Structure 1
């Protein structure tokens, strides 16, 4: 039986082909880091591959074997030397899965929110402290919960976007239905992807996923509790300061020294 992450390996590249606004941001952060980079939730390589192409020493972790297999096939086609490791595993245990120290750890595009409990998020952050270089940064992207999210009818399917491919003439229509658990702060999302050409639907694919939503002050407390200080919080990849209507929270944090009496 395939898990939801494995199902996603078949559709991820198609439905996120239009998400490119964060790539230059991570390329810039990688240049500043000037050392080993770890991407948590590397998926099929949307961020990993541009960083590899730019010559950076990047390692990746993903829980899905199918997603990782897809990424490795793409890396092989690059025909470039690869210094990093690519590991299949749960990011909650990332701190135990690598031996090298990293100057930059990135968790792009809501990947951190695939950890579905506060305890799993704490475990990830505390464990990461073991594999951070003395001079380091951790960058975590989280979406901001908003009223529109809670107003959705859980029995309705909403069309979120249409992606047109000018080369094939195909259109991808992406639909989603979301059920919210207030007590667990989780979103249970069913995605439907329709492939059509000339108005005729050729293929329909489905994939579920879950995310845990996090409020801004909750995230701030979580980072502090796990031994980090806040370096920066922005609301867009052009550096716009964060404010509540922003779609994203892009946190930059670093390990702080903890002294025990």
Structure 2
């Protein structure tokens, strides 16, 4: 979601040892879906509500835009609602991590993939991943034989995904679409939003639009599964001006050292948003500092009972939350919130 500026591609940076190593686990400010782009088909009618198949075909009772479109594809229109960018803005898309660098930054993160594959197989029906990015989760699902599709707002991410899938001999059915407002011809037994992608929705309105649209695309008794970090007090009151090493790992192609650094973090405790400046710092074969790639990311955190209200307001009457991918209960504010909501 970024086109790196000239100085980002070639600038040298002091050795990463200056940055303070995080005492806790790596902070992942990711999601495949970008944070802040021009409002997409805000809708002139009522928001997403459950409609009968006949109403959907007749375009009755839906978004009210009246225009036919191919499944998943949305024209971009409108302007940002808030000068602080608390809906999706094109300028933040341009500052997000470049697609070719995404897999470098997150190639090491594979611990959650067995969980998503297992849930997809248990669904016993079609699966849709919202915010599929470059296919970190979707491609392993396809390799496991899951009937899965993906959608993402960023075309560059999807191009990388398609190339990776083709290299693996896979057909990857993916759609350029926004999780807040999309239309598919199928209904799904499982819709997933892995890797905290839901946190890129920066307003309550956008969160509800996404949840309602997703619920509309679920089969009866189908489920939505997503994960979020719990907004612990220690996290949101920490000083954000000091550099912090989030992760050190080997480049997946060259084997050379790479350091992922959180340069700056701005916590808005009223709006419940985090805006972070991140750098991917490469080293050369001699161990000297090499290329530095900077990008920005914006997230909104959501509390447990706030999430319950969002799900209920969006029409989900049954849901549960766990404290991690191992199925343990949510008991600590350092746990990962793993939500499942069913369409009954």
Do they superpose with TM above 0.5? Answer: yes
Aligned to 1:259: none
Distance in structure 2 (CA, Å) of the matches to 1:169 and 1:144: 33
Distance in structure 2 (CA, Å) of the matches to 1:81 and 1:152: 44
Query: In the alignment, which of 126, 143, 168 is matched to residue 36 of structure 1?
Result: 126
Change in Cα spacing, 1:18 to 1:7, as seen in structure 2 (3 Å) is closer
In 2, are the aligned partners of 1:38 and 1:106 still within 8 Å (CA)? yes
In 2, are the aligned partners of 1:172 and 1:195 still within 8 Å (CA)? yes
Structure 1 stretches (4+) deviating beyond 3 angstroms?
4-8, 165-169
Distance in structure 2 (CA, Å) of the matches to 1:152 and 1:135: 41
In 1, are the aligned partners of 2:128 and 2:148 still within 8 Å (CA)? yes
Shift of residue 225 of structure 1?
A: 1.3
* Residue 340 (structure 2) pairs with residue 252 (structure 1): yes
* Residue 311 (structure 2) pairs with residue 223 (structure 1): yes
Query: In the alignment, which of 270, 274, 277 is matched to residue 190 of structure 1?
Result: 277
Query: In the alignment, which of 187, 196, 199 is matched to residue 101 of structure 1?
Result: 187
Which one has the largest radius of gyration?
Answer: 2
Aligned to 1:60: 150
Q: Relative to total residues, which structure has the larger helix share, 1 or 2?
A: 1
Distance in structure 2 (CA, Å) of the matches to 1:33 and 1:134: 12
In 2, are the aligned partners of 1:37 and 1:104 still within 8 Å (CA)? yes
SS at match of 2:97: helix
In 1, are the aligned partners of 2:96 and 2:296 still within 8 Å (CA)? no
SS at match of 1:10: helix
Aligned to 2:213: 127
Aligned to 1:155: 241
Distance in structure 2 (CA, Å) of the matches to 1:166 and 1:59: 26
SS at match of 1:11: helix
* Residue 325 (structure 2) pairs with residue 237 (structure 1): yes
Distance in structure 2 (CA, Å) of the matches to 1:164 and 1:7: 18
Structure 2: gaps spanning 5 or more residues: 4-92
Aligned to 1:180: 267
Q: Which has the higher contact order (CA 8 A, sep 6+)?
A: 2
In 2, are the aligned partners of 1:4 and 1:208 still within 8 Å (CA)? no
Structure 1: gaps spanning 5 or more residues: 257-261
* Residue 230 (structure 2) pairs with residue 140 (structure 1): no
Distance in structure 1 (CA, Å) of the matches to 2:154 and 2:237: 32
TM-score normalised according to structure 2 size? 0.69
- 1:238-260, CA deviations, whole angstroms, 9 ceiling, x for partnerless residues? 1111113333100011124xxxx
Q: Relative to total residues, which structure has the larger strand share, 1 or 2?
A: 1
Aligned to 1:113: 199
In 1, are the aligned partners of 2:107 and 2:252 still within 8 Å (CA)? no
SS at match of 1:191: strand
